[in-house]
Amino acid sequence: MMGAMAYGFEHIFPSLLPVTNLAPSSATWFPLLAGAGIGLLQIPLTLFANRGLGASSAFVTLTAWITKTIDRVLGTRLTNPALECALHSYTDLALLIGTISGSFLSATLSGNFLKPRHPTLFNLIGGFCLIFGARLAGGCTSGHGLTGCGQLKLASFAAVPAMFGTGILTGLLVQSYL
């Protein structure tokens, strides 16, 4: 059904970006194919890494490392039990580092680097809301959207419409008032 929706979207709103071929050196791929590649990553992750795709938990690990360092230097007790557990989740961090390097690899191969800069204020507010919301919801777009919906979890099917609904509302408001 989702696949049919994706195909329908492709049919109604054809890809705006130039799609040449599937070579690693081409700037962009057909979005449906790249998405299918992301979906297929669930198999090795499930079989060998005992987890699903998800990006936001790595930030908790990084925060835990920072708080632990502050604790060691200043002798405070900043690290709470939840962070203490996140200290040792290296797979999250491995996934994050992999993502950074994979994107870097693709960008180097195709020469398609990021050009426009977003307003810094938006980045700051948005970045905070991203991680705060992701941790409150217990997962981010990839955690809830890909892993949770892939497992047919009710919470994820509530989270995704909330995510996109608020996003579209905000986007339209920002567009009309700024």
Partner 1 sequence: MTIRMGQCTGQHSLCSHFHDELCSIPGFNISIHNQMPMLTTPFIGKASKMEYARVARNGGSEGSGVLITLQLPVSSLQFPSRMQTGYIPVPGKQEFPCVVVSSLFCLPAMSTGSSTTKDWIQRITAAACGVGFGFFLHKAAVFDPKVISDQFVLSNFTMLKTFLSAVSVSLLANGVMSCFPSSQKQLNQIRPPAVKRSLSSVSVGAGILGFGMALAGTCPGTVSSYNFPNHSLSSLLLNSALVAALSLSLCAQLVCWAHMSIASLISACKAGTEKKLILLRIPLRMLIASLASHSLF
Could you give the CA distance from residue 127 to residue 123 in angstroms, rounded to a whole number?
Answer: 6
What is the closest distance, in whole angstroms, from the C-beta atom of residue 11 to partner 1 in the complex? 10
**25 binding partner 1? (CB under 8 A):** no
Among 20, 66, 69, 72, binds partner 1 (CB under 8 A): 66
Contact between 71 and partner 1 per CB under 8 A: no
> Mind spelling out the 3-state secondary structure of the chain?
CHHHHHHHHHHHCCCCCCCCCCCCCCCCCCHHHHHHHHHHCHHHHHHHHCCCCCCCHHHHHHHHHHHHHHHHHHCCCCCCHHHHHHCCCHHHHHHHHHHHHHHHHHHHHHCCCCCCCCCHHHHHHHHHHHHHHHHHHCCCHHHHHHHHHHCCCHHHHHHHHHHHHHHHHHHHHHHHHC
CB of 18 to partner 1, least distance (A): 10
Q: Is 20 in the site for partner 1 (CB under 8 A)?
A: no
Interaction of residue 155 with partner 1, rule CB under 8 A: yes
132 counts as binding partner 1 under rule CB under 8 A: yes
* Residue 175: both structure tokens together: 């567009």
Judged by CB under 8 A, the residue of 20, 44, 68, 177 near partner 1 is: 44
Q: Is 69 in the site for partner 1 (CB under 8 A)?
A: no
Question: Minimum distance from CB of 129 to partner 1 (Å)?
Answer: 3
Q: Does 106 bind partner 1 (CB under 8 A)?
A: yes
Q: Report if residue 68 touches partner 1, rule: CB under 8 A.
A: no
Please state the closest distance from residue 178 (CB atom) to partner 1, in A: 11
**Measured at the alpha carbon of residue 126, what is the angle toward residues 89 and 65, in degrees to the nearest 5?**
25
Among 20, 21, 127, 177, binds partner 1 (CB under 8 A): 127
Of 20, 21, 39, 177, which one interacts with partner 1 (CB under 8 A)? 39
165 binds partner 1 (CB under 8 A): yes
